[in-house]
Structure 1
Amino acid sequence: MTEPTVTSAHPEPTDVSGSALVDWDFAAAAASRLAPPGPKADRREITQLVDELRQAGERAVDLVARTARLETPPGAPPALIVDRAGWIRTNAASMGAMLAPVLDEVVARKRAADRERAERAGRALPDLGAASQAISGKVTGTEVAGILSWVSTKVLGQYDLAPQGTPRLLFVAPNILAAERELKVDPSDFRLWVALHEETHRVQFTAVPWLREHLIAEARSIGSQVLPEPENMGQRMVEIVSKLPGVLRGEEDITQIVATPEQRARLAEVTAVMSLLEGHADVIMDEVGPSVIPSVKEIRRKFTQRRKGAGNVDKLLRRLLGMDAKMRQYHDGAIFVRAVIDAVGMEGFNQVWSSAEALPRAAEIPDPQAWVARVHG
């Protein structure tokens, strides 16, 4: 005689994955369709562009390592030359891997709270189901696609941290071609100049092995705090929308309306590290530049002006995405790096890579001597 099957009055609902809140494959495909292809060029010009970018990436390796006085592991993989769609696919994968544990944690907290309320009320926990997750993921994926498509037209190069796999140096060929045409600079010089900046980022993360995991962990930790709980999403959206006019006028930073004071303090510490990385890359590229790039002064002057000269729509989008802060990182970080090198030399500056404790704090970026005093005594 078989035992009777016992069924629960409240069957367990389908597991909900935070990762399903964004359909990253859908976002990548949609963004690739939205992104314009870039400037027109014939096959010969494209071949020359790709070949020169590869050569520039290879040439930059030793130039940057010697100037920065940092030792990197041998056998650096060659830079990957991509179009805008390739950049989108790479970054959608990296963003998905970066945010997956963050979104899973947010959803787990929400489900735990829902379960507790349901048990107290004697009700079944609502089943969100796979279909609902798929719809939600595509809606959010559509929003992400719009951001990815726009940013894909701006980025010249990138060191992809690739939380899900192997980090890689990328050059976005159509954007480099568009920039050098717009600036009317020597193409070969400009390509090497861009390679020097991006190669410095590769050197930072390969010569300092702990830095990649440190930044990924910090980003995930802050992300889990900054993202509002799902039940508070509506209230937060009302608050954000009410303050958007101030962001669009340049009166407020986007982080001021998406984070609490405590969260902004943590964001400021990560921003300090990003200022260090971007400023260091700018300083190294300009240190190397005069010896190998005849037109480096002209390139720097025109490129700095280009950073300031975005159109009205472009400026609005930059403010909404927090990219104005990114521009300040180059400027503030470079001032910090130059001041420290002037005070203690390159070897003394390189103490910044010795540990997470030695990284500059938010208050030290505008006050380099405070960092020197803390680290060097």
Structure 2
Amino acid sequence: MSDIPFGFGVPPEEPEDGDDGKQRKGDGEGGGQPDPFGFGGGSPFGPGGDNPFAAMFGSLNPNDIGAAFQQLGQMLSYEGGPVNWDMAKDIARQTVAQGTPDGVKDASVSRAERSWVEEAVRLADLWLDGVTSLPSGSGTAVAWSRAEWVEATQPAWQELVDPVAERVAGAMGDVVPEEMQAMTGPLLGMMRSMGGAMFGSQIGQALGNLAGEVLGSSDVGLPLGPAGKSALLPANISAFGKDLGVPQEEVRLYLALREAAHQRLFAHVPWLRAHLYGAVEGYARGIKVDTSRLEEAVGQLDPTQPEQLQEALQQGMFQPEDTPEQKAALARLETALALVEGWVDAVVHAAAAPHLPSAGALRETLRRRRASGGPAEQTFATLVGLELRPRRLRDASRLWASLTDARGMEGRDGLWAHPDMLPTAADLDDPDGFVHREAFDVAELDRILGDAAQEEIERKRREAATDEDGQDTDGEGDSGK
């Protein structure tokens, strides 16, 4: 344990002056949008909530009624994309401020927490230098609160969610007969606005719950945060490690290793981000909307009861199409996620095992956590039809470890040079076969190149000998004249 720097087990200091842990504006009561319905700053359309419009009309306070109508007007006048992301962000921040899902309200990060995150990432990068040929990708190391995670990752979620939400927006128009669409233009516009608001509400709640579970910026296997920035969430890490029976400093270092390893991969494999997001988009294109459920919700649509459409969204109305194209897209997505997570799992274990006695136990805990997904991740899957889980994580990790044994870390990491060089889903079924085939191919290539080089040497030797013979013959002819 001598490799663990002194002071990692020291409890965090009290917050700095001006950083007193109070909730930010918009994160709790008294911040964000007005709450005329009395839901404590939460979404008026959240799961299990009462009908906000019944509450509105049941109030005799003119100010409350006016605020409620103003909020309704803002919702119906929304003219942006398929998801009202302003609403999503507000609701996500309100959710983390209320302490979902663990009951601990979000607070500012302390100076001590920032210090140990920076130190842990710095040490993690030193350990990773010995097990991978990819250089550090962590330009900076930051400690995030849950609200800061919401803010920093929203652009990535928007890129992931919008294509799927757009399909719902299109389906809303499809459920209205074509001959009636001209007559129902205002209704369709209202439906799209309400759909954007409802999606924003649901996505906001899902992201708020997910913010209470994630440990860093790369928990779902995708680059969600800014490039070159390793980020950890101290509050969530403390909650995660509390009941593991593992020293907290080991938990911190192991999670810092995972975050730093992800950053190396994303920073030095320039095509990887587009490849992953392309796999997600390809799968999303094959998702179909359950129009029967949507038709039922639209058929009963009452402007004073928007929770009907809310319930349809919450219950999930997405089904992957059972076509060869969609199956291939799903295989590409699962394989891409598994290869990323498998590589991280393999190199982190190689880096951690010599230094952390609990490396094996932490590895298994993280594997199970990643494979099963938490409630928030399952909610997200219900909402957008995507499960961002590496189902082949163990197979991929074994393949990368075998490649390390067979070709060394440079040969293993060299496969990230181009997407066509990566193992396929079939290769994950037979990792040893891929490794041995790759080794054979390399040896065969070396033999072919060696034979070609030897043949070239022989050809040049013969040409040189022929030239020398010609010169000798000419010399003999001259002397005989």
TM-score under structure 2 length normalisation: 0.58
Larger CA deviation: 165-174 vs 277-286? 165-174
Find the counterpart in structure 1 of residue 206 from structure 2: 147
Matched, 1:271 2:329: no
Counting only pairs closer than 5 Å after superposition, residues 351-366 of structure 1 correspond to structure 2 as 351-366=414-429
Shift of 1:281: 0.9
Once the two structures are aligned, what percentage of the paired residues are identical? 22
Larger CA deviation: 341-350 vs 170-179? 341-350
| 1:207 counterpart (268, 278, 281) | 268
Matched, 1:30 2:95: no
Paired residues of 2:146 and 2:233 also in contact (CA < 8 A): yes
Paired residues of 2:144 and 2:232 also in contact (CA < 8 A): yes
Q: Which is helix-richer, 1 or 2?
A: 1
Bigger relative contact order, structure 1 or 2, given CA contacts below 8 A and separation 6+? Answer: 1
How many aligned residue pairs are there? 336
Shift of 1:87: 1.9
Summarize deviations over 1:158-190 as a string: whole Å, max 9, x none: 236359x74643212211010121213212221
Paired residues of 1:52 and 1:188 also in contact (CA < 8 A): no
Larger CA deviation: 218-227 vs 272-281? 218-227
Larger CA deviation: 174-183 vs 313-322? 313-322
Find the counterpart in structure 2 of residue 83 from structure 1: 145
Shift of 1:259: 3.4
Larger CA deviation: 262-271 vs 364-373? 364-373
C-alpha separation in 2, matches of 1:305 and 1:273:
18
Shift of 1:123: 5.3
Find the counterpart in structure 2 of residue 242 from structure 1: none
Paired residues of 2:337 and 2:390 also in contact (CA < 8 A): no
What secondary structure sits across from 2:185 in the alignment? Answer: coil
What secondary structure sits across from 1:182 in the alignment? Answer: coil
| 1:137 counterpart (196, 201, 204) | 196
Change (3 A) 1:357 1:84: same
Summarize deviations over 1:317-345 as a string: whole Å, max 9, x none: 69858898726443332122223323333
| 2:353 counterpart (290, 308, 318) | 290
C-alpha separation in 1, matches of 2:279 and 2:139:
26
Shift of 1:353: 0.3
| 2:234 counterpart (149, 160, 173) | 173
Letter in 2 for 1:183: L
Letter in 2 for 1:198: E
Letter in 1 for 2:230: L
Find the counterpart in structure 1 of residue 294 from structure 2: 234
Shift of 1:149: 2.6
Shift of 1:299: 3.5
C-alpha separation in 2, matches of 1:309 and 1:102:
23
Counting only pairs closer than 5 Å after superposition, residues 108-147 of structure 1 correspond to structure 2 as 117=178, 126-127=185-186, 132-147=191-206
Change (3 A) 1:40 1:123: closer
What secondary structure sits across from 2:232 in the alignment? Answer: strand
Matched, 1:63 2:119: no
Find the counterpart in structure 2 of residue 7 from structure 1: none
Shift of 1:272: 0.6
C-alpha separation in 1, matches of 2:337 and 2:347:
15
Summarize deviations over 1:9-39 as a string: whole Å, max 9, x none: xxxxxxx97x622112211221222232668
Paired residues of 2:404 and 2:411 also in contact (CA < 8 A): yes
C-alpha separation in 2, matches of 1:290 and 1:180:
18
Letter in 1 for 2:144: V
Matched, 1:186 2:247: yes
Find the counterpart in structure 2 of residue 372 from structure 1: 435
Summarize deviations over 1:171-225 as a string: whole Å, max 9, x none: 1221101012121321222111101111111111111111112222332233233
What secondary structure sits across from 1:20 in the alignment? Answer: coil
Shift of 1:291: 3.2
C-alpha separation in 2, matches of 1:217 and 1:224:
10
Letter in 2 for 1:148: L
Find the counterpart in structure 2 of residue 347 from structure 1: 410
Show structure 1 runs of 5+ residues with no match. Answer: 1-15, 238-253
Paired residues of 1:24 and 1:93 also in contact (CA < 8 A): no
C-alpha separation in 1, matches of 2:267 and 2:147:
26
Find the counterpart in structure 2 of residue 248 from structure 1: none
Find the counterpart in structure 2 of residue 97 from structure 1: 159
Which of 1 and 2 has greater Rg?
2
Larger CA deviation: 199-208 vs 355-364? 355-364
C-alpha separation in 2, matches of 1:319 and 1:98:
12
C-alpha separation in 2, matches of 1:329 and 1:53:
30
Letter in 2 for 1:285: V
Find the counterpart in structure 2 of residue 245 from structure 1: none
RMSD of aligned Cα (Å):
4.3
Counting only pairs closer than 5 Å after superposition, residues 41-52 of structure 1 correspond to structure 2 as 46-52=110-116
